[in-house]
Structure 1
Amino acid sequence: MRLEGSCHCGAVRFSCESPHPVPYQRCYCSICRKTAGGSGYAINIMGKSETLEIEGGQNIAIYRTRAEDGNRSGCERRFCARCGSALWVYDSRWPELIHPFASAIDSNLPTPGENTHMMLAFKPAWVEPHVHPSDKTFERYPDESIADWHKRTDNVRD
């Protein structure tokens, strides 16, 4: 699926191909929550970095996160320097991928039949996850990859 995305002010527009476009994975870690998650979590989806096309790239800023040990990680969060909209995450450990924030996608995304709630160990007390009976929950990372989730739920696209 071709994903089309943008920031709030329109200074940045981007697109990429995604074999796994279902916005099912809700991350409650402090990084996602504080940089993109107004409801206490952020939703990232997957895109192929080689297909990324950007308009207004001069308006993109990068926030490099820190690992749990305090050192800089390979994770970079791209956001609009004008309006602050979170756009996508890039991690040097997986250079073939980008992870757009579902909130930045303008394309009509598929609706997940179930959600995965991850990094619940880091959610603040005020956040009350809406966990449905078919949802999976994890204190840290889930036990399946984004690709494996799409295969299991039959949401695979080429």
Structure 2
Amino acid sequence: MRIEGGCRCGAVRYRIDSAELPPVYCCHCQVCQTWSGSAFTQQALISESQIALTSGVAAIYENMTSSGARSKQHLCGTCHTRLWNTNSARPGIAVVRAGTLDDAEHLVPRAHIWTKRKQPWIVVGDNVPQWPENAPTADFVVALSGKLA
């Protein structure tokens, strides 16, 4: 199955090679709120080897996180839509901005992190795993059904 996505203006397109839509989670941290200009981000975890540009050139913005890891953002140089990022703390994993997927309406978040920063009007269902800050890795993998590739 080919999953496709791209930026708002259409200058950059990508594809994900996967048997199914990737699992997604929502992050409510201050950084994600600031980066997105919204209440949270919806993100999909995939293997970095699964994603490839199909048209255009992604601009790269690198920054050092508060933990000292290097984060590499791939975005459209025209409309500045963030498409995905990689992080030296999680080698081999790409974090795709789920809203940039063509079929984003079919995605259902499987977990929420940093809920202590969640806007008070957002209600997370009782059956959806959530953590006040980052989830322990093993618990997070279970919440996302262990499908990182």
TM-score by length of 2: 0.79
Q: Is the partner of 1:137 in helix, strand or coil?
A: coil
CA apart distance, 1:142:
1.8
Match of 2:45 in 1: 46
Where 1:136 maps in the other structure, the secondary structure is coil
Give the deviation of 1:4 after TM superposition: 0.8
How far is 1:76 from its partner? 1.8
Distance 1:127 1:3, change over 3 A: farther
Q: Say whether the 8 Å CA contact 1:20–1:157 is kept in structure 2.
A: no
More strand by share: 2
Q: Is the 8 A contact 1:5 1:14 kept in 2?
A: yes
2:43–2:98 contact (8 Å) kept in structure 1: yes
Quick one: percent identity of the two aligned structures?
21
Residue number among 121, 124, 131 corresponding to 1:138 in the alignment: 131
The reply on whether 1:77 has 2:73 as its aligned counterpart is yes
d(CA) in 2 for partners of 1:77, 1:119: 21
Q: Considering only aligned residues, what root-mean-square deviation do their CA atoms show, in Å?
A: 2.7
C-alpha deviation, 1:136, in angstroms: 2.3
- Equivalent position amino acid for 2:87 in 1: D
Q: 1:5: which partner in 2?
A: 5
Q: Which runs of 5 or more residues in structure 1 are unaligned?
A: none
Partner of 2:88: 92
Q: How many residues align?
A: 145
Alpha-carbon distance in structure 2 between the residues aligned to 1:17 and 1:107: 14
Counterparts of 1:93 and 1:139, CA distance in 2:
21
Deviates further, 46-55 or 9-18: 46-55
Per-residue deviation at 1:82? Answer: 0.8
* Structure 1: distance between partners of 2:45 and 2:95: 5
CA distance in 2, matches of 1:135, 1:37: 24
**CA displacement at 1:89 relative to structure 2:** 1.4
Write out per-residue CA displacement over residues 95-114 of structure 1, whole angstroms, 9 at most, x where no aligned residue: 322111101111356443x6
Paired with 2:70 and 2:82, the residues of 1 have a C-alpha distance of 17
Q: Does the 8 A contact of 1:21 with 1:110 survive in 2?
A: no
| Structure 2 residue aligned with 1:61 | 59
Is the partner of 1:45 in helix, strand or coil? Answer: strand
TM-score normalised by the chain length of structure 1: 0.75
CA distance in 2, matches of 1:82, 1:133: 40
2:107, 2:9 → 1: CA distance? 26
| SS of 1:145 mapped into structure 2 | helix
Mapped partners of 1:20, 1:149: distance in 2: 15
Q: Report the 3-state secondary structure (helix = DSSP H, G, I; strand = E; otherwise coil) of the residue aligned with 2:61.
A: strand
